[in-house]
Structure 1
Amino acid sequence: LGADARAAFDRLIDADSIAVDPHKHGLQPYGCGCILFRDPAVGRFYNHDSPYTYFTSDELHLGEISLECSRAGAAAVALWTTMRLFPLERGGEFAAMLSRCREAACALYARLQADPRFLVGIEPELDIIYFAPKRESASAVDAASRALFAAAAGHDLHLALANLPADLLRPHWDIAWDAPKAAVLRSVLMKPEHLDWIDPIYAILDKLV
């Protein structure tokens, strides 16, 4: 992790709440996340009732304060089983997969950063990168990003669009900000195999830009 990301990670212990989302990187094909609150009393704000629910204790029960109420237990069991197969161990198999994803993102970011036809700037902290075709203004960047998005899909390279505010990009991009935001391309290198696909991915972008 970079210095800023490391500092933020080290302060998680001070957070009032933490969202845990094992979808995708937790190898779960469906949502099975949660929000952890430092203060258990927060649960009273999520308390709900219905004529057909009952509980055997006066203590707040997960079933009456859960954000999704009667969430399927199978989702939690599936995550538990996955974590048994791929334990959260430093240097373990699961950690190696995550490391390759970040390595892939950094590799593609470096390739695009070295290409004067692209704009980058937000260095990846995990496995997500943002970039855009280089243009003179925010509106032109927006249009070029949307065009490249469509063209890439025609070559089986499926990217995403993200509308980012000028305040976030201005420190990185020396362009005319004639709009308050701009559409940019977003790529998530979320599979370890993506590291082996950096050359083909860049080749498509090189051809289309």
Structure 2
Amino acid sequence: MSSPPIKNSATDVPNNLHSQTISITREQREILIQQRAVVIWMTGLSGAGKSTIANALEVEMHKSGVLTFILDGDNIRQRINKDLGFSDTDRNENIRRAAEVSKLMLDAGLVVISAFISPFQAEREMAKHLIGDDDFIEVFIDAPLALCEQRDPKGLYQKARNGEIKNMTGIDSSYEVPAQPDIYIDTSNSSVAQAVEVIATKIRNRTRR
């Protein structure tokens, strides 16, 4: 299955809308809370460990005095994206909205941990473009499909195998492996603690002012 076309939403902005000037800048917010904002974008199959690692990473960073926020795929789909399904078009819109929210939180000075399957390379590139290359850290949380099915923490793979749900990534919808992620984690041979240490070490200098 090929990647969905990426829609350029900027061309859809009505002519009567204009950007409002804001006096306080992102840099001023970063100085106030003494950190540099960044988006840590975690991608990988369901069951690979994205949410678990994101949560553990936030706990570790919180202990270090870093102000963070997690945007988790399931939580977002129950709230701002509850109107979306799982077609390629809706998956693309899901990631576009997630990237826009990540960007807003970035501008607030936060370290944002965004955990989404985000299966298509084109939509991850879209997210990176919206957020900005210098502020986007792609983390590929990898695990073999068989192991993800064995874990199956939400019971989704079993439902997909039984034909109860459609467009399940890894089953009847493809996952395009990141070609050059900034950080690679293989959870088939790494513990959660080891994964957190690898990510925290590599981003430490990126979050310091």
TM superposition score category, shorter chain reference: under 0.3
TM-score by length of 1: 0.26
Structure number, greater radius of gyration: 1
Q: Which has the higher contact order (CA 8 A, sep 6+)?
A: 2
